[in-house]
Amino acid sequence: MTENLTMKYSILFINEKWTSAQKSYSRKSLCSLIFRRLCTAGQSAIGFGYVSFDNAGTFNGTDVLTYSNTRTAYKAHGWVDGTDADLGDSHQIGGTSARWYRFTLNQQGLVDLSVIQKTAGLDPAFTLYSGAFVTSAHDDTTTDPLNPTDSNFLPIQSVIDADPSGLYLKHSGYRDTVNQTYEGQFDAFGSWSMANDAGLHATVHYITAVSGTSDSDPGRGLTWGGNGNHDTAVGMGESLLQYYLPAGTYSVAIGGEACNNGLPSCTSAPYSATFSLNVQPVPLPAAFWLMGSALGSLGLLGRRRKQIDT
């Protein structure tokens, strides 16, 4: 298969329709176009992976939900790569290829999330989204291509990710595939979408990120991240405590933010970390109890009056 793909790659360069303008198309885009995740940066073929979820449980609104899981093979660049302009490779999230966590709240709850590194150097960070991807979703499907092109291999806009306003603001949930070459579809600071090979498409909606890395858009008055730390010591990590969430399904993307330089020490070194989830019922406000007490008193007073009248 690799030999056949290599032959097709060579034919493209000798095709008489391959103009000088088309030759300027980036190496990254060409790899994405021809090999569809089978090559990267001119290197040999790599494995293909899909987003999958570990189910962290369902909160019924009454009983406390607790969950904890330790996973190896996190990468020090996996999460932070999704904070830059060309987005990140979703395959680099999680302790194995594209491994996420998911949980469900049948009722509103107060949520504690934490990621603690068990191997020094990971510098973990995470993003919380509402919603979840469909089974076996991944970057660069035929439904939602990473860097789509026309018949002349010139970049065109993705139909699914087109911004109606045409502004393409950062972390807005849209991708400008005409003017930007994307590394992946993972946005650590925004909503984003993916499809699977069956054409089923879904969007996860950004809620918050906990990280030492930050980004901002002063024009819109928005800031993302920057609410965590850059501690790389064992036993340290990031936490989100007593965070109110309404009923719904939620996803958590976890990875490292220690480096983003493309070196093997950054992209290949495996790290271990523990993800923990705790969900508690939302306490009823004191006013509710006072109202209940008042209604009870009125009921008691009404019964006493009825006894007197009789």
Residue 300 lies in a domain: no
The answer for residues whose C-beta is within 8 angstroms of residue 105's C-beta and 6 or more apart is 58, 59, 61, 111, 245, 246, 247, 248, 249, 250, 279
Specify whether 235 is located in the same domain as 266.
Answer: yes
Number of structural domains the chain divides into: 2
What phi, psi does 33 have (nearest 5°)?
Answer: -70, -50
Same domain? 23 vs 144: no
**Is 5 in the same domain as 108?**
no
Tell me whether residue 106 is in a domain: yes
Tell me, yes or no, if the pTM score tops 0.85. no
Beta bridge partners of 203: 193
- Domain coverage including residue 218: 49-294
> 29 with 128, same domain?
no
Shared-domain flag, residues 96 and 196: yes
In a domain, 12, yes or no: yes
Task: Tell me which residue of 168, 203, 197 sits closest to 185, measured CA to CA.
Answer: 203
Query: What's the pLDDT score for residue 18?
Result: 37
Predicted pLDDT of residue 267: 86
pLDDT along the chain (310 residues), means of 10: 44 37 40 40 43 95 97 94 95 85 98 97 97 93 94 96 94 96 96 95 97 97 97 98 98 96 84 97 69 52 56
Contact (Cβ atoms closer than 8 angstroms) between residue 262 and residue 40: no
Whether 166 and 23 share a structural domain: no
| Residue 308 resides in a domain | no
Considering the domain boundaries, does residue 282 fall inside one?
Answer: yes
Q: What CATH number is given to the structural domain containing 157?
A: 2.60.120
What number of residues does the chain have?
A: 310
Q: What is the pLDDT of residue 97?
A: 72
Same domain, 42 and 104: no
Residue 303 lies in a domain: no
User: What pLDDT sits at residue 24?
Assistant: 36
